[in-house]
């Protein structure tokens, strides 16, 4: 059995594929979708999947939570005291109510919307 590599997408032509003297052509799924018109019985399509370890899963979840926090959740969260809108401080992981000068912490991606748990912003702290 001989082995040959198709190096780039420009070779995904019917002419080139027909010229290959191969019984089996292994191709990645992501490449297969680019050349559906030339695929024949010789093609074996390899599906690729990513197995994320626990650390990567946690990181991805946190990223998703951050993303979620940036958009949808902020639209529905309001200050429990004045019902006003909040400012999300990403680095500090806090939601700020400018009116009440309160900073509500976000712990493990969960906003703690309790007056008792909030930090009172000192007058010198910019918001």
The stretch among 36-44, 51-59, 91-99, 110-118 that binds Zn ion (CB under 5 A) is 91-99
Candidates 56, 58, 81, 127; binder of Zn ion (CB under 5 A) is: 81
Strand segments, DSSP code E, in the chain are 25-28, 43-46, 87-89, 94-97, 102-107, 110-111, 119-120
Label the pairing between strands 94-97 and 87-89: antiparallel
* Residue nearer to Zn ion on the CB measure, 25 or 118: 118
Candidates 69, 97, 113, 118; binder of Zn ion (CB under 5 A) is: 97
* Residue nearer to Zn ion on the CB measure, 17 or 96: 96
Q: Binding of Zn ion at residue 86 (CB under 5 A)? A: no
SS3 105: strand
Shortest Cβ contact with Zn ion: which residue?
79
Per-residue x/- mask for Zn ion, residues 39 to 78, rule CB under 5 A?
----------------------------------------
Distances in whole angstroms, Cα of residue 71 to Cα of each of 32, 34, 37, 77, 99? 36, 34, 41, 11, 21
CA distance 73 to 66: 10
Candidates 33, 46, 82, 120; binder of Zn ion (CB under 5 A) is: 82
Q: How far is the CB of 98 from Zn ion (least distance, A)?
A: 8
Secondary structure, 3-state, 62-90: HHHHHHHHHHHHHHHCCCCCCCCCCEEEC
Which residues make up the interface to Zn ion (CB under 5 A)? 79, 81-82, 84, 97, 99-100
């Amino acid at each position: 059995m001989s082995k040959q590599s198709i190096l780039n997408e420009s070779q995904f032509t019917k002419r080139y594929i027909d010229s290959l003297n191969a019984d089996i052509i292994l191709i990645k799924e992501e490449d297969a979708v680019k050349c559906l018109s030339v695929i024949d019985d010789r093609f074996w399509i390899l599906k690729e999947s990513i197995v994320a370890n626990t650390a990567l899963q946690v990181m991805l979840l946190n990223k998703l939570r951050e993303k979620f926090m940036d958009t949808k959740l902020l639209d529905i969260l309001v200050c429990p005291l004045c019902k006003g809108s909040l400012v999300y401080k990403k680095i500090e992981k806090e939601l700020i109510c400018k009116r009440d000068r309160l900073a509500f912490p976000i712990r493990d991606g969960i906003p703690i919307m309790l007056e008792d748990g909030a930090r009172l912003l000192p007058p010198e702290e910019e918001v």
